[in-house]
Structure 1
Amino acid sequence: MKFSFVNNTNQKYSSDEIYFVITGKNTSGQFCHVDKSGNLIPCNESDNDAPGHLTKNGQNWCHYLYTLNEISEIEVPPMYWGRAYISLGSPVYLRVINNGQDIVWPDPAYPSDPNADVYYDWVEFTIDNTGFFYGNTTQVDQFGFPMIIELIASDGSKKAGITESRSALFSEYVKTVPVEFQSLVQEPYRIISPFRGGFVYGGNYATYFDDYIRNMWQYYTSNQLQVRIPQGTFIGKVENNVFTFSKTDSSNAKYTIEYPTSSDIFRCNGVFTTGEAIQRLIQAQISAMFNRHILENPANNCKPEEFYKNSPANYYAQFWHLHSIDNKAYGFPVDDVCEQSSLIAHPNPEKLKVIISWD
């Protein structure tokens, strides 16, 4: 299918100042990049030092990028775990490692990252071998600038993303979120997510969810929690400090969640990413309920109007839902629980239009 990149920055950036790079995995799990002819080219560590490579902070970086002035529409072949990085005024700096099996991505948690002073954002996607497209905008790690994706097919189109101006978003964010979450603003470049900021181990707000975790663990020692996933209905209760679930069909299988940390909740990992597929689906439900502060009121699960009403909650994520098309956003890693994410999909799409905005 085609990806089309549209400069909607109102002349803040010319098309020769807007860069994009498309990377992802082929069917063998090898990281690749897409060249301007639409070929999927395996990444190699030697690309870091190849002719035309990028250099910053005394280190070489691979150069897989194009400007919109060079090419604004490109054929994208089937690929998995894909990312289309867009950067404004500067290329984004990527490095291939582990014999091409991994890429060092931009990381807003580290001031020493070469992209710390680069305006960038990205779209995530997969195009499987049948041509089925799954993709989304994301604020899971950070917000750089507003983008809209429009998936176009013969039977219509779907949109996701953010339509508001960048300056309005920065201003509204500072005005409306609690003071702890205001610390996530890294002007002028981005607003980072809680787990990229002070809400992880060693940070000023590393214990943000601790009281809520303690209260919920105590509550569910004497109460039961019902969780529904595609595989059935499961009943959970805290036993020996472990949240233990079993299916209502009386099977003997047990699915567990160890006592989490606040960081586990924001990251939706750690104790929420252990075990087999069914266990991980249950864990995703509980992680989402913590972020949305509805764990003590499971009847409100999948009722977005009831999310984030009480503290503590992930108010960073709430903000992006309030300011996104149809209130759909990826504000934390399992925001697709109850179909609240910005994911759009189609079995036979023609084009993905990526509209890049500023003010």
Structure 2
Amino acid sequence: MVGRRAFLAGLGAVALAAPTATAWASPGRRSAQAGLPLTVVNNSGEFGNGSIRMYIVGSDLETKTQSRVTADGRLVPVSLSDNGSDGFADYAIPLAGSGETMLSLPSMSGRIYFALGGELKFRVVADGNGNPALQYPAGWVESDPNFRLLHDSVEFTYVAPGVGDLNPGMYCNTTMVDQFSVPLAIRLDGSRFQTTGTLVAGGRQKIFSQIRAQAGFSSLVVDDLRVLAPGHGLDAGRFDSGYYRSYVDKVWHTYRGTDLRIRTNRGLFTGRVDSADQFTFLSDGGERTAPFARPSTRDVLFCDGALTSPNDGITGPVGAILAAGLNRSTLHSHADQPTTDAGSFYRDPVTNHYARIMHANTVDGRAYGFAYDDVAEYASYVQDGSPSRFTVTLTPF
């Protein structure tokens, strides 16, 4: 399954709110006829089409250059000369005057942003090698010029037939990994019809009110603009940096004398916490993972640091399942991972209540509340090897 990790890799390991280093080449301009039909539907009920701007930005899959899509569906490399007199690049694509907006989506890996009631500010900068790189909006950073603007995005990788040695298809998701602001749903037509991301009736209001009511999480709500993911909240001083300490301690204590069994596509890995206070796993095929140190709260929320999961087929999948078990608070109670019963998720008082609330307010129970929410396929993600149309809907507030 191609999860959010693959999207970020496709974006060139984008460091949001910071310059993105990319290789530079001059690919010219792409034909609008080669893309995947994209339909945008505004059912927000709060904003008319004239008040909404769309932005499609990301990475060219062939040249690896940071690029943006024009209103006629061309994929164009970003350039320092795109910055206007105010220092920002205007990549806005207005929605149609009324009804649905139609566009051709080129082969690329990126994001479709929507700004409601204003325009997003993107800036093109030079990376460490002097090549053009794009600074993305970071709605969780108060100093970001987009902080007071209502905006959100969906992520996708569209591989047209014949692009390098990549498998053709559309891989897409709605994401709350960084923040939740605008309710968005996606539909993918192809070999079958698929949809995800739709909230329950009144879902946006319920998410805001339930997080405001959750002890320790209430400060993640920023007015009526957005809810910050707790990892970003931690960095902003809005969330307790020691929140997960007691739960991690409980897990580490449990598995000093008991096996934790993790099954991946590679087989069964069995591990314990050793005398060096590290978790190490050995597969039934004799493969040993890199050791996992005791993670901090920040490591758990970002699924990073001590839980960094390399793309090696061994340590990576085990680390992803560890991170999912910690966010869902199933590791202490379930020695066989990954757990697949959603009824067992988020039962411990110390858990990722942000992710819990996101899942509780989606029609299909799927959401991207943290980076490894694709473990056991609970992410708001769909894919198709022969897509025919992609639809993004701004659903009712």
Which residue number corresponds to residue 106 of structure 1? Answer: 137
TM-aligned CA deviation for residue 273 of structure 1: 1.4
**Greater strand fraction, Structure 1 or Structure 2:** 1
Matches within 5 A, 1:36-185: 36-49=71-84, 55=86, 60-69=87-96, 72-80=101-109, 82-97=110-125, 98=127, 99=130, 102-130=133-161, 131-153=168-190, 155-163=191-199, 164-165=201-202, 166-175=204-213, 178-185=214-221
Q: Is the 8 A contact 2:219 2:239 kept in 1?
A: no
Residue 320 of structure 2 corresponds to residue 293 of structure 1: no
Q: Is the 8 A contact 2:38 2:102 kept in 1?
A: yes
Map 1:229-268 onto structure 2 (within 5 A): 229-239=264-274, 240-251=276-287, 253-268=288-303
Return the offset for 1:204: 4.7
CA-to-aligned-CA distance 1:320-343 (integer Å, 9 cap, x gap): 111113101000011001111001
Q: Distance in 1 between matches of 2:238 and 2:281?
A: 32
Query: Are 1:196 and 2:229 matched, yes or no?
Result: no
Output the CA distance in 2 between the equivalents of 1:143 and 1:309. 23
Task: Give the letter for the 1:103 counterpart.
Answer: L
Deviation digits for residues 92-150 of structure 1 (CA, Å, limit 9, x no counterpart): 11112225553222213321111111110100000124340000001111111211111
More displaced 10-residue stretch of structure 1: 310-319 or 299-308: 299-308
Question: What amino acid does structure 1 have at the position aligned with 2:261?
Answer: Q
Output one character per residue of 1:199-247: Cα deviation in whole Å (capped at 9) or x when no partner: 3496551000011112211221111111011111111111111110111
**SS of 2:369 mapped into structure 1:** coil
Return closer, same or farther for 1:195/1:204 CA change in 2, 3 Å cut-off. Answer: closer
CA RMSD of superposed structures (Å)? 1.9
- Matched residue type, 1:92: L
TM-score norm. by structure 2 comes to 0.82
Match of 2:51 in 1: 17
Q: 2:351 aligns to what SS in structure 1?
A: coil
Runs of 5+ consecutive residues of structure 1 not aligned to the other structure: none
Q: Unmatched 5+ residue regions in structure 2?
A: 1-35, 162-167
Amino acid of the structure 1 residue aligned with 2:107: P
Runs of at least 4 residues of structure 1 off by over 6 A? none
SS at match of 1:326: coil
Q: Hey, what's the Cα distance between the residues in 2 that align with 1:274 and 1:340?
A: 19
Q: TM-score, normalised by structure 1?
A: 0.90
**The one of 332, 338, 345 aligned to 2:383:** 345
CA distance in 2, matches of 1:114, 1:254: 42
- CA shift, 1:311, in A, is 1.8
Shift of 1:46: 2.0
AA in 1 matched with 2:244:
F
Q: Percent identity?
A: 29
